[in-house]
Amino acid sequence: MSTAKATRRKTDRWYSRVESGDWEAITTEVNEYGGALLPQLLTPEETVEIRELYEQDGLFRSTVDMGRHRFGEGRYRYFNAPYPEPIERLKQALYPRLLPIARDWWTKLGRPAPWPDSLDEWLRMCHDAGQTKSSAILLHYGEKDWNALHRDLYGDLVFPLQVVINLNEPGVDHTGGEFLLLEQRPRAQSRGMATLLPRGRGYLFTTRDRPVKSARGWSAAPVRHGVSAVRSGERHTLALVFHDAA
């Protein structure tokens, strides 16, 4: 990375917001639960601005009707790359913080960790492997909409952590619409966790699987995520996945 780029990164507000988190506590939390709340990443004004991008067709490469694919009910849109500034900068600022957690997880699982130090380099690896499509998503849920439990896997190359940001105020703009994590424990029944995402805060969670302690060391527990039915109002979220799609 050029010095100019490194300096800009350390002085930009996206970087400061990510750095305002207690990353030791976040790491402990995500290691325990497979999910952890992050600091405020977007101001209320920015959540409105990003919500409003939903109507700008030119910003998106495709739109998915979740009902038609039996992914739940609601719609989402894949942003075109290059991304609008907040999305690009937040991904860039988050990646170096997620990287040590990802490497630690893969070490525990005895897997080689393929992720280089920079996000640009990692995305180049994805592109070289045929995963060339952008993966940041803007989702919109109305009353009764929901998101089926799933994993955002788009090819062999996977970054094991991702971030979602609620662009609405829970309890005010919507009721219901809790973010759900389902962890399939080795040789045991699954553990569920529901979180009402505060507006503008990030939520970090497991993309595919994560290490859980077992009698004989570490086992990989597959984790799915989804969203419970929105009971009233509207909910928009910004989903930041760190690998690109095939």
Ligand X SMILES: O=C(O)CCC(=O)C(=O)O
Query: Of ligand X, Fe ion, none, which one does residue 139 interact with (CB within 5 to 8 Å by kind)?
Result: ligand X
Site string for Fe ion, 141-160 (x = CB under 5 A): -----------x--------
Residue 164 touches ligand X, criterion: CB under 6 A:
yes
Cβ at position 147, least distance to ligand X in Å: 5
In this chain, which of 30, 36, 93, 139 binds ligand X, going by CB under 6 A?
139
**Token output for 144:** 């009764």
C-beta of 9 vs 208, nearer to ligand X: 208
In this chain, which of 50, 179, 206, 209 binds ligand X, going by CB under 6 A?
179
Q: With CA atoms as reference, report the closest residue to 140 among 169, 162, 170, 166.
A: 166
C-beta of 49 vs 152, nearer to Fe ion: 152
C-beta of 15 vs 227, nearer to Fe ion: 227
Cα 124 to the center of its chain, rounded Å: 20
Q: Among the residues of 109-207, which ranges form H helices?
A: 119-128
Contacts of 35 (CB under 8 A, 6+ apart): 29, 179, 181, 193, 195, 203, 204, 205, 206
Dihedral class, residue 71 (left if φ above 0, else alpha if ψ from -120 to 50, else beta)? alpha
C-beta of 154 vs 218, nearer to ligand X: 154
Angstrom distance (rounded) from CA 65 to CA 73? 7
Interacting residues with ligand X (CB under 6 A): 139, 147, 152, 164, 179, 225, 227, 237, 239
